[in-house]
């Protein structure tokens, strides 16, 4: 009886009408159609008549309007689209299937397994374009999260639900660092978004950087650089939606996105294609509006937490380029990878003097914080005088602070170094850090 009542209430909500339009023009990446009635973000199905291939369809999304013309951007190639192709309106944004049965899977931007297998049963349906949590519903972050990297756990401690950017140029070790964090973290589940990566790198990351143990408790979403701009953007939103689903189940989720810069570049392609004027360094205004909408979706809510690491590919190692500057202003901290340190063989090449965790003061013990500040001060003193020391212009005894910095520089560098395969607990990291700090007279 109850089911009958539920069905009776459900029937009036069903839309029995299908809305159609027709393709009238294709310009570059964009498809223009006369109809159907739709809203920004709605998904449409374009019916293709491929002759001997029979009728097939491709998916596209409404990205704008021009008078009575609907502007669509496809999720796939558009080579088979012809004038007059039927456009069917779905009437809702993109939705994906999510659940624990996806663990160990590598998905595309639409949430489908990339190995061609079928989605497992028992999954839930979620939208990819959810709103960020209400600011007043976010509990404060007061617990630290172990990531298994000494330089981060010791000097740049991350809180459970914090959002951190990893800023670096190309080839400095961003993906390797993400792989270390994914394998070593104490989070319940990892969601990894590989956006705009080379096709070769996806499998290499899964098999080498992540490894079998890391993959067992991870879901990977990949959108390679050869895919349309919309697919690259949807990859970021799909990964975030999956992380939100598990957060709402009460889990502590680790979201890693490599890289948010390529999401911005994809949005720039779309913005320019629909006629937006280029602004800062060619980036359109929509780029700077989509970034906070994406990045603010992570963090804490009343159910659980998403700790997020976003890599930012900086052009020419310029940390003040527009995307890096915007992302740094949104996130709760930034980790800078230094090419000079990588060239010296220090891995991970984290520049602790140029990096900051904005929540470290609130989640660490006074002893831990004092030791980290002491080592940071010694490291800064050494770096400030390094040129004089290297050319022999500094004489020991001139400054007690510089003398101590010279003595402790090898110890601090050794503390910051870590093998790719090492997994060091946060307790051991803090004990080693405090021991160094005590020896330096903190």
* pLDDT tens per residue, range 220-266: 999 998 888 889 999 999 999 999 999 999 999 999 998 899 999 99
d(CA 364, CA 370): 10
The DSSP secondary-structure symbol of 208 reads I
Domain that holds residue 27: 12-93
Span 372-378, average pLDDT: 93
Residues 139 and 261 in one domain: yes
Domain final residue, candidates 55, 73, 93: 93
* pLDDT tens per residue, range 267-325: 998 888 888 888 877 889 999 999 999 999 999 999 999 999 999 988 766 677 889 99
Q: What percent of the chain has pLDDT over 70?
A: 94
With a cut of 50, say whether residue 422 has pLDDT above it. yes
With a cut of 70, say whether residue 5 has pLDDT above it. no
| Structural domain includes residue 6 | no
Residues 270 and 128 in one domain: yes
Residues 333 and 226 in one domain: yes
At 358 the pLDDT is 92
The Cβ of residue 227 has, within 10 Å, a number of other Cβ atoms equal to: 21
- Of 70 and 390, which is predicted with more confidence? 70
| Structural domain includes residue 169 | yes
d(CA 352, CA 428): 19
| Structural domain includes residue 5 | no
Residues 349 and 375 in one domain: no
At 152 the pLDDT is 94
* pLDDT tens per residue, range 54-109: 568 888 999 888 888 999 988 887 777 888 889 998 888 889 999 999 999 999 99
Strand stretches in 228-314, DSSP E: 252-258, 299-300, 305-313
pTM listed for this prediction? 0.89
Residues 58 and 107 in one domain: no
At 52 the pLDDT is 47
Phi-psi domain of 42 (left: phi exceeds 0; alpha: psi -120 through 50; beta: other): beta
**109, 235 contact by CB (below 8 A):** yes
Dihedral sign computed on CA atoms, order 251, 358, 361, 349: positive
Average pLDDT, the chain: 87
Range with the poorest average pLDDT among 8-12, 276-280, 381-385:
8-12
| Structural domain includes residue 356 | yes
| Structural domain includes residue 2 | no
Residues 150 and 46 in one domain: no
Residues 343 and 396 in one domain: no
Domain final residue, candidates 93, 127, 160: 93
Task: Copy the structure tokens of residue 406.
Answer: 């010279």
- Please report, for residues 94, 149, 362, the alpha-carbon distance to residue 427 in angstroms, rounded to integers and kept in the order given: 43, 12, 18
| Structural domain includes residue 208 | yes
Residues 371 and 314 in one domain: no
Distance between alpha carbon 227 and the CA centroid of its chain, in Å? 18
At 15 the pLDDT is 60
CATH number of the structural domain spanning residue 84: 2.40.30.20
- Please report, for residues 158, 186, 188, the alpha-carbon distance to residue 250 in angstroms, rounded to integers and kept in the order given: 19, 15, 10
Domain final residue, candidates 48, 73, 93: 93
Total domain count, the chain: 3
Residues 133 and 194 in one domain: yes
- N- to C-terminal Cα separation, the chain: 73
Residues 247 and 382 in one domain: no
**318, 324 contact by CB (below 8 A):** yes
């Amino acid at each position: 009886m109850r089911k009958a009542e539920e069905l009776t209430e459900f029937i009036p909500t069903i839309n029995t009408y299908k809305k159609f339009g027709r393709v009238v023009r294709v310009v570059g990446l964009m498809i223009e159609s006369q109809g159907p009635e739709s809203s920004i973000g709605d998904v449409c199905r374009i019916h293709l008549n491929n002759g001997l291939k029979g009728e097939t369809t491709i998916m596209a999304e409404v990205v704008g309007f021009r008078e009575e013309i609907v502007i669509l951007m496809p999720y796939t190639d558009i080579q088979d689209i012809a004038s007059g192709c039927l456009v069917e309106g779905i009437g809702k944004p993109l939705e994906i299937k999510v659940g624990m049965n996806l663990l160990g899977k590598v998905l595309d931007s639409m949430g489908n397994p990339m190995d061609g297998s079928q989605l497992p049963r028992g999954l839930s349906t979620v939208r990819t374009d959810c709103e960020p949590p209400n600011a007043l519903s976010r509990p404060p972050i007061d617990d630290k999260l172990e990531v298994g990297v000494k330089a981060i756990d010791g000097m740049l401690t991350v809180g459970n639900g914090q959002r951190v950017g990893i800023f670096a140029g190309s080839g400095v070790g961003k993906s390797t660092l993400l792989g270390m964090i994914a394998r070593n973290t104490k989070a319940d589940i990892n969601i990894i978004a590989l956006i705009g990566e080379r096709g070769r790198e996806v499998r290499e990351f899964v098999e080498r950087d992540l490894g079998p143990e890391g993959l067992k408790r991870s879901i990977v979403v990949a959108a390679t650089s050869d895919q349309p701009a919309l697919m690259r953007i949807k990859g970021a939103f799909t990964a975030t939606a999956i992380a939100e689903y598990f957060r709402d189940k009460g889990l502590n989720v680790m979201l890693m996105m490599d890289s948010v810069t390529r999401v911005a570049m994809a949005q720039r392609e779309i913005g320019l294609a629909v006629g937006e004027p280029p602004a800062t360094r060619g980036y359109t205004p929509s780029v700077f509006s989509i970034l906070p909408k994406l990045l603010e979706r992570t963090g804490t809510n009343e159910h659980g937490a998403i700790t997020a690491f976003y890599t930012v590919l900086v052009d020419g190692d310029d940390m003040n380029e527009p995307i890096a500057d915007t992302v740094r202003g949104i996130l709760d901290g930034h980790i800078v990878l230094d090419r000079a340190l990588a060239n010296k063989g220090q891995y991970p090449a984290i520049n602790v003097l140029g990096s900051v965790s904005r929540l470290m003061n609130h989640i660490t013990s006074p002893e831990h914080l004092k030791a980290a500040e002491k080592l940071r001060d010694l490291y800064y003193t050494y770096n400030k005088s390094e040129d004089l020391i290297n050319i022999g212009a500094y004489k020991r005894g001139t400054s007690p602070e510089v003398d101590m910095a010279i003595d402790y520089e090898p110890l601090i560098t050794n503390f910051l170094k870590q093998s790719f395969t090492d997994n060091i607990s946060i307790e051991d990291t803090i004990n080693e850090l405090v021991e160094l700090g005590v020896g330096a007279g903190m």
